[in-house]
Structure 1
Amino acid sequence: MRLMEKAPAKINLALDVLYKRPDGYHEVEMVMTTVDLADRIEISEIETNEIKIISHNRFVPDDSRNLAYQAAILLKKRFNIQRGVSIEIEKNIPVAAGLAGGSSDAAAALRGLNRLWDLGLSLDELAELGGEIGSDVPFCVYGGTALARGRGEKIIQLPQPPKCWVILAKPTIGVSTADVYKKLNISKVEHPAIENMLSALDASSYSDVCSNLKNVLEYVTLETNPEVAHIKEQMKRFGADSVLMSGSGPTVFGLVEHESRVQRVYNGLRGFCDQVYAVRILGERNTLE
């Protein structure tokens, strides 16, 4: 049996960090939505009782460091599955980009293996399991648009954003999420008004979504990575309506309402940045069908 799952990237429309918790994690509030840039996950049974990760991207680990591998081993242990599986990852989302590519792969593996092994788990149950793998995995299990609280595992579904284009640009550098959080001084950041973004989504107001894009992690990454700041400046100059860094970076995204302007922004960025994508917002929740 062979199954396919789509693993979309996410962007943060708003990201706030409230405080550091006693367990070492940070308490966050994040408004996230999925975009139409996705890895493709192919899951198939194999004769040997093992987990095989196959990818032609040299930056994708094929062992227990891979979050899709961790998803498979978690289900095997939790439900005493004595069958082997091959998980092939066609990597389209840039690695270490702030777009939750690895987390989305894990979420897709959870959904696919739930079908392959006929476990009968709901999205809520899969999301709870996903929280044991990583903070972004529960959101990626659901997909769509959501407010994430706690360390990211408490998910409240939101209306999808107004239809628009998203230009993504990732510089060649990598950014460590752990390092960004270590350098974050919560007492000095300007916190986003999360409730304003929620109101913008409720009203389906594109202009209000644009005016409330905010990420408290951005200043940390910009301080040490001037190329990220340069991409932001150029994206605005080429005509994006609003621009923000996603997650801990280094990917920058710009929202563009009118298709006539998309090619101009895309072409302008391609002049100095190799990894540039023009995609649509998805914003719709996954199903188990």
Structure 2
Amino acid sequence: MKKVVLKAYGKVNLGLDVVRRRDDGYHEVRMIMQTVGLFDRLELKKTSGDSVTLSANLRFLPVNEQNLVCQAIAAVKKKYSIKSGVEAYLEKRIPIAAGMAGGSSDCAAALRGMNRLFELGLKEEELCEIGAGLGADVPYCVIGGTALAEGIGEKLTKLPPVPHCHILIAKPGVSVSTKTVYENLDVPGLLSHPDITGMISAIENQDLKGITGRMENVLETVTIPRYPVIHEIKEFLLKQGAESALMSGSGPTVFGIFASEEKAQRALSNLRSFEDVKQAYVVAPVNRES
């Protein structure tokens, strides 16, 4: 095989709780992750020589060893003594620094792509093990679909697919540092925690209202005061008929879940009144990576 092309799907957090801050500075989380049908496209080709090169459709995107795609390719080459070079091209569509795990998803796609390109025969668990050394969200992005993530995000339990729905994703024109958000989170001072256990039961029972009624993200307590537009977008989506609306990850992306595609598309059209919204899409949940 000389070339592979993969989709790197973004994610949203249907529920995100932070249990505690560990002595090593990391935070223990309990969250429900969901892959959505907004994806980057990654192309990998074998080349002569031993070098790894990356190009992308966005000029400001790092295309050196800072990029997780390069790190993933290098990690697989080293671990399995691969001498061939690799040329990668990344077409970005997932908003950057937006709480949708775009970089982690690209990394996971690179791991899966290297597995296919060099016919390594690695199982999902082995790819997740490599991915865990590259980023906390990478193992989840390897498996995709609906999952419970615990620990620092690396302990994953697959869940049944969520019921069919339509998800409107809206990214305002600000970027948020995940590190900064977690550093400023007052875990002992949190007044409310998401009902993650109840949401798991709602997913198992295919109860969309049970899911949307439990959507909560404790990181909003840090990000929304800094960027009030997040709250404004949430309120707008609710007025447009969303079952619920929430910030994804550390933000600033907001998503609303709609039972009706017609309402979701109408809300997308009406979002034009928000000058601060720079990217917006209507997508559906994705059950697994492809």
Q: Same-fold call, TM > 0.5?
A: yes
Paired residues for 1:223-238 under 5 Å: 223-238=225-240
- Verify: 1:261 aligned to 2:263, yes or no: yes
Q: CA separation in 2, counterparts of 1:89 and 1:23?
A: 34
Does the 8 Å contact 1:166/1:278 carry over to 2?
yes
Match of 1:251 among 225, 250, 253: 253
Structure 2 segments unaligned to the other structure (5+ residues): none
Query: What's the CA shift string for 1:150-171, capped at 9, x where partnerless?
Result: 1111110001111000000000
Tell me what 1:124 maps to.
125
- Verify: 1:281 aligned to 2:285, yes or no: yes
Does the 8 Å contact 2:16/2:217 carry over to 1?
yes
Does the 8 Å contact 1:30/1:149 carry over to 2?
yes
Alpha-carbon RMSD across the aligned residues, in angstroms, is 1.0
Q: CA separation in 1, counterparts of 2:6 and 2:34?
A: 18
Identity within the alignment, % = 47
2:188 match: secondary structure: helix
Does the 8 Å contact 1:164/1:255 carry over to 2?
yes
Paired residues for 1:57-136 under 5 Å: 57-136=58-137
Q: CA separation in 1, counterparts of 2:259 and 2:110?
A: 33
Structure 1 segments unaligned to the other structure (5+ residues): none
Could you tell which deviates more after superposition, 129-138 or 229-238? Answer: 229-238
Q: CA separation in 1, counterparts of 2:50 and 2:35?
A: 34
TM-score, length basis structure 2: 0.96
Query: What's the CA shift string for 1:126-180, capped at 9, x where partnerless?
Result: 0111000001000000011100111111110001111000000000100000000
Paired residues for 1:159-198 under 5 Å: 159-189=160-190, 190-198=192-200
Q: CA separation in 2, counterparts of 1:185 and 1:13?
A: 21
Q: CA separation in 2, counterparts of 1:268 and 1:45?
A: 45
Does the 8 Å contact 1:16/1:216 carry over to 2?
yes
Does the 8 Å contact 1:7/1:104 carry over to 2?
yes
- Verify: 1:141 aligned to 2:145, yes or no: no
Q: CA separation in 2, counterparts of 1:260 and 1:88?
A: 35
Aligned-residue offset at 1:117: 1.5
**AA paired with 2:257?**
L
Q: CA separation in 2, counterparts of 1:14 and 1:8?
A: 18
> After TM superposition, where is structure 1 displaced by more than 3 Å over at least 4 residues in a row?
none
Does the 8 Å contact 1:29/1:147 carry over to 2?
yes
Aligned-residue offset at 1:21: 1.6
